[in-house]
Amino acid sequence: MSFHVDSETGRLRRVILHRPGLELKRLTPSNKADLLFDDVLWVRRAQEEHDRFAALLRGRGVEVHLFGDLLTESLDVPAARTLVLDRVFDEREYGPLATDTLRAAFDALPTGELAEALVGGVTKREYLERHPAPASVRFHVMGLDDFLLNPLPNHIFTRDTSAWVYDGVAINAMRWPARQRESVHFEAIYRHHPLFTGAAAGEFRTWAEGQGAHPSTIEGGDVLVIGNGAVLVGLSERTTPQAVELLAKRLFEAGSARTIVALDMPKRRAFMHLDTVLTMVDGETFTQYAGLGMLPSYTIEPGGDGQELKVTDHPPEHMHRAIAAALGIGAIRVLTPVQDVHSAEREQWDDGCNVLAVEPGVVVAYERTVTANAHLRAQGFEVLEVAGSELGRGRGGPRCMSCPVERDPVS
């Protein structure tokens, strides 16, 4: 066994999902925007839909690892627990009067309770039910129902926090504060969980450690491993050119990739990540949102004559040509259903382009994206539908909710 992701559409072998839990029950109409959600989910129904999604993948031979289990098992390793607690309980966050006291209180929790607290969050009221108040100015000015430890509802989108690119993983520095604490959880898992440290796991590289300050941020929804040593990256509102340069430098130095094509995307929430408007469905075919249009693109390659990187600019009309050149083929096929602008916008909002390939020509999609699914079937693709009436309220589809850690190349 070795961990590697060599394509977007080769047979999917192993994936990390996160079953919705307490963190989504913390969403309210007043805090959802700060937590990067547009709506409040019915959690029990979301869990049922997620369970069916996981069962569908298992039924196709995919080994599913649940993030909550991985985190809990990692926290049983003392070095992992120390890493997480040291990173979370920082004086710059809690002040010098409370930090050590709070860290000790959380360190005393049983592993399962600690994992749930780190993801689900803890209010001041909940803390005081078990502990005396620390002598802290910040603690005293908090309201009883203010969060001492904020919940992390976006953990459901396991695609973003870490991204496997060929023979290594990028533990990403996230753009918004609501997601930045997620990275340390994945760092603890990859560095200390027996699944990734055991002899059977083989060796893998780490492209990024998750520790970085704005503006060098990157998220996995913007990273497509399109195969043949090529990577497609969206320069979105959450992924910056600086971070892409750092990723390119490490990939090229290791010989793990030979080219990156970066697309200059609109910087707004409707185009949150590249995979909300463009995903791959086989080795040379993409599904694309009509409203995306054609974008300026940049091919990044190893430099010559002492230069670290070579960057070639392409005008918008050459976007598809630049992607094809990176793949080493004459042209790519781009599928966009014909529909009026309002219907297209609605389906994009419902994650019509955010499909997850389980093998070439077979994708998982939300059942609600009727037109996009019908168009894919008409073009000869098998579409496996999953319910998303509640999961879809989080503005993320099957690709967003899955982090492949082992996937074959496209033969």
Crossing angle for the helix pair 78-88 and 99-107, nearest 10 degrees?
A: 150
Residue type at 94? Y
Residues 235 and 355 in one domain: yes
Q: Which helix (H) or strand (E) holds 139?
A: helix 137-141
Domain final position from 101, 116, 149: 149
pLDDT tens digits for range 251-296: 999 999 999 999 999 988 777 899 999 999 999 999 998 888 899 9
Mean pLDDT value across residues 359-368: 94
* Cis peptide upstream of residue 215 (ω within 30 degrees of 0): yes
- C-alpha–C-alpha distance, residues 103 and 108, integer Å: 9
Residues 35 and 102 in one domain: no
In 3D, which of 134, 127, 131, 132 has the Cα closest to residue 148? 127
pLDDT of residue 199: 59
Asked which of 247-261, 341-355, 393-407 is least confident by mean pLDDT, the reply is 341-355
Contact 362, 18 (CB under 8 A): no
- C-alpha–C-alpha distance, residues 274 and 287, integer Å: 12
Provide the mean pLDDT of the chain.
91
CATH number for the domain spanning 378: value is: 3.75.10.10
pLDDT of residue 207: 81
Residues 204 and 110 in one domain: no
Q: Which domain holds residue 21?
A: 4-65+153-407
**Residue 242 pLDDT > 80:** yes
Residues 237 and 371 in one domain: yes
Residues 160 and 143 in one domain: no
pLDDT of residue 204: 83
Residues 171 and 86 in one domain: no
Domain final position from 101, 128, 149: 149
Paired tokens of 189? 């898992």
* Residue 345 pLDDT grade (very low, low, confident, very high; cuts 50, 70, 90): low
Q: Which of 287-296, 326-335, 344-353 has the highest mean pLDDT?
A: 326-335
Mean pLDDT value across residues 199-218: 74
Residues 207 and 325 in one domain: yes
Candidate list 184, 225, 231, 400, residue with the active-site label: 400
pLDDT tens digits for range 10-32: 999 999 999 999 999 998 999 88
**Residue 234 pLDDT > 80:** yes
Long-range CB contact pairs, 92-99, < 8 A, 24+: 94/136, 94/138, 95/136, 95/137, 95/138, 97/134, 97/135, 97/136, 97/137, 97/138, 98/134, 98/135, 98/136, 98/138, 98/139
Contact 339, 352 (CB under 8 A): no
pLDDT tens digits for range 121-158: 999 999 999 999 998 898 889 999 999 999 999 999 99
- C-alpha–C-alpha distance, residues 79 and 87, integer Å: 12
**Residue 350 pLDDT > 60:** no
Contact 46, 164 (CB under 8 A): no
* Residue 395 pLDDT grade (very low, low, confident, very high; cuts 50, 70, 90): confident
* Residue 340 pLDDT grade (very low, low, confident, very high; cuts 50, 70, 90): low
- Give the single-character DSSP code of 156: G
pLDDT of residue 404: 97
pLDDT of residue 347: 59
The structural domain count of the chain equals 2
**Residue 346 pLDDT > 70:** no
Residues 31 and 117 in one domain: no
Residues 232 and 129 in one domain: no
CATH number for the domain spanning 84: value is: 1.10.3930.10
Name the CA dihedral angle for 249, 252, 257, 262, rounded to a multiple of 10 degrees: 30
Whole-prediction pTM: 0.94
pLDDT of residue 212: 61
- C-alpha–C-alpha distance, residues 64 and 70, integer Å: 11
Sign of CA dihedral 219, 220, 221, 225: positive
- C-alpha–C-alpha distance, residues 10 and 274, integer Å: 19
**Residue 349 pLDDT > 70:** no
- C-alpha–C-alpha distance, residues 39 and 150, integer Å: 18
Paired tokens of 206? 């780490």
Residues 378 and 353 in one domain: yes
Crossing angle for the helix pair 78-88 and 111-120, nearest 10 degrees?
A: 30
pLDDT of residue 334: 94
* 353 carries an active-site annotation: no
- % of the chain residues with pLDDT over 90: 75
Residues 230 and 163 in one domain: yes
pLDDT of residue 270: 75
Residues 267 and 122 in one domain: no
Domain final position from 103, 123, 149: 149
